[in-house]
Amino acid sequence: MEKAFEILEEDSEYQGFFNLSSYKLRHTLFEGGWTESIRRELFHRGHCVGVIPYDPVLDQVVLIEQFRIGAIRDKAIPWLTEIVAGAVEPGESAEEVAYRESMEEAGCEIKELLKIGEFYTSPGGTSEKITLFCGLIDSSEVGGIHGLKEEHEDIRALVVDFEAAFAWIESGVVDSAIPIVGLQWLALNRSRLRGYPKNFLSSLLR
């Protein structure tokens, strides 16, 4: 079966910090033929980058805490513990965003950037696609409050031992999908990162 779709109508419903479009479309069926005309809304979030900053010498990760509108009706205190993340602006590469956002949101200077992968966050309704990285850092001087005032950012950087950070997934302190993916990847690859020769890590991070 050849998969295909046809857009019959496309309308812009809202343009602001984010954009919303509605589509009238149809697509092929696994058993053959086509669907009837259906309507779907699409929340345009664009391409974004996430970074889990990790110090393999001290075995610490840097997480951030900030207010999140998405949790406002679900949590009495809608501040989430997450990882560094930001949108890709026109002309930027994902790698450039990783370096920029790590400094802006957490005061972290990335020494080496490792690509974890790319994935859609919620393709049932949003176009957002994440490129996720692990950034090797020196966490010894990380902390404090960060963010861009012109973007109304108020972000607290948290330096956490890896084991404690990973336990936060089970306890619910970390309850956002992207940091969960990042911490789970780190759990699988942490021994490899810590296994680098100590003299190499020292020259890389210090």
The catalytic site residues sit at: 151
Rounded to 5 degrees, what angle do the CA atoms 55, 108, 100 make?
Answer: 130
Beta bridge partners of 44: 19
CA distances from 196 to 61, 66, 104, 203, 204 (A): 17, 33, 28, 11, 11
Q: How far is CA 179 from the centre of its chain?
A: 7
> Is the CB of residue 52 less than 8 Å from the CB of residue 193?
no
